[in-house]
Amino acid sequence: MVISIFPVSTDQPSIEVTNLTKHYGPVTAINEVSFSVAKGEIVGFLGPNGAGKSTTMRILSGLIPASSGIAKVCGIPVASHSAEIKRRIGYMAENNPLPEDMRVAEYLHYRASLKEIPAKQRKKRVEEVLETCDLHRKTKRKLIRALSKGFRQRVGIADSILANPEVAIMDEPTIGLDPHQILLIRDLINNLRGRCTLILSSHILAEVEICCDRVIIINQGRIVATGSPKDLRHEFIRRNQYHIRVAGEKAKLLEVLQQVDPEIDLQENLDETNDSFQTWNAYSVISGDLSEELIQRILRTNGLRLGGLTKLEPSLEDIFLSATRRSWDVTQQEAQNIQKTYQQQQENTD
């Protein structure tokens, strides 16, 4: 076994990225990306297809070089010590390539040897990850070609944590799974909490919100938002939404709501109803929870009968759409500014 010359880091971020840029010919995949991930943190890495998620993860894993910028894992520069980085991390690729003619346990023993786990420890460690990923009993003896998509993903996760890495990087671990399988992968990821630092990408935003301490959103190769879901709600969602079910005229309801917020926006909810009650969505820019005051005013108003009122929390999907929309708007404005500057230069030249 090769002994690492780098000590295990204890007081620094597990991942540090500064002005990371990657060009593929004329195409810029990521542009001056900067972020950090604290030790033991579980971070969701989000973005549309082609935003730069996989490129960033592959650079962090030492699989491809950056064009410029600095990436450190456990305080170690990735560019100059990629072999050492590969000893410190576990990486699960998006397509999760697996040899179909090998059995699960056989494959993990093979991977354990490649990861330089001492021969005396391999059997015990393989059994540990088989149990952690619920691949023990009959599954460990199955050929990989006979496994469902969900079990294949579990094998990929088992491989990524096999060598007890300080950092695990998982690119779309829930891709192609049904809801039941997603729940199982969620539980597995939660079981890793505290054991290692984890950064994962996913298009299942609800799962990211449940599993992750923090999210990083990337779009067009740039970081457009970072923080906890709670913090990002305050940053990107400017209006509070209330779900109101009431019987009575819209004009009367709007009059009551405007007593609380004169600028409140009332929109019809198109949910089907089979009685006299109708559902409305009310949007207010006033911070805090207005639910109790709205309920009391509706109850005291003749001609209105309240069926229910709920303050809705914005989902991570709402935040994601708002953050990426803002970045598109900024990019379009930058393009317009460049075009305007170019036209002015042409006019001055003429």
Residues 71 and 133 in one domain: yes
Number of CB atoms found within 10 A of residue 224's CB? 23
Mean pLDDT, residues 212-240: 87
In a domain, 176, yes or no: yes
In a domain, 9, yes or no: no
Domain that holds residue 289: 238-312
If pLDDT is split at 50, 70 and 90, which confidence band does 100 have?
very high
In a domain, 331, yes or no: no
Q: Residues 57-91, buried b or exposed e (16+ Cβ, 10 A)? A: bbbbbbeeebeebebbbbbbebeebbebbbbbbbb
pLDDT at 276: 82
Mean pLDDT, residues 254-258: 93
Residues 257 and 145 in one domain: no
Residues 155 and 279 in one domain: no
* Average pLDDT of every residue of the chain: 86
Strand order across the 278-284 sheet: 265-268, 278-284, 240-247, 305-312
Domain count, the chain: 2
Q: The domain that contains 177 carries what CATH number?
A: 3.40.50.300
Residues 166 and 244 in one domain: no
pLDDT, one tens digit per residue, over 331-345 is: 444 444 434 544 555
Residues 194 and 306 in one domain: no
CA distances for 73 relative to 38, 191, 193, angstroms? 11, 22, 18
Residues 289 and 244 in one domain: yes
Q: Between 153 and 325, name the one with better pLDDT.
A: 153
Beta bridge partners of 67: none
Mean pLDDT, residues 253-269: 90
If pLDDT is split at 50, 70 and 90, which confidence band does 268 have?
confident
Residues 187 and 271 in one domain: no
Q: Between 67 and 271, name the one with better pLDDT.
A: 67
In a domain, 116, yes or no: yes
Domain end call among 204, 234, 264: 234
Residues 224 and 249 in one domain: no
pTM over 0.85: no
Residues 152 and 283 in one domain: no
pLDDT at 24: 93
Residues 229 and 151 in one domain: yes
| C-beta separation of 131 from 159 below 8 A | no
Task: State the Cα–Cα distance between residues 71 and 196, nearest whole angstrom.
Answer: 19
pLDDT, one tens digit per residue, over 172-202 is: 898 878 888 888 888 888 888 888 999 999 8
Residues 85 and 210 in one domain: yes
Could you give the percent of the chain with pLDDT greater than 90? Answer: 55
Q: Are strands 305-312 and 240-247 parallel, antiparallel or unpaired?
A: antiparallel
In a domain, 4, yes or no: no
| C-beta separation of 30 from 55 below 8 A | yes
Does position 2 have pLDDT exceeding 90, yes or no? no
Beta bridge partners of 245: 279, 308
If pLDDT is split at 50, 70 and 90, which confidence band does 312 have?
confident
Mean pLDDT, residues 154-172: 93
Task: State the Cα–Cα distance between residues 34 and 19, nearest whole angstrom.
Answer: 5
pLDDT, one tens digit per residue, over 24-81 is: 999 999 999 999 999 999 999 998 888 899 999 999 999 999 999 999 999 999 999 9
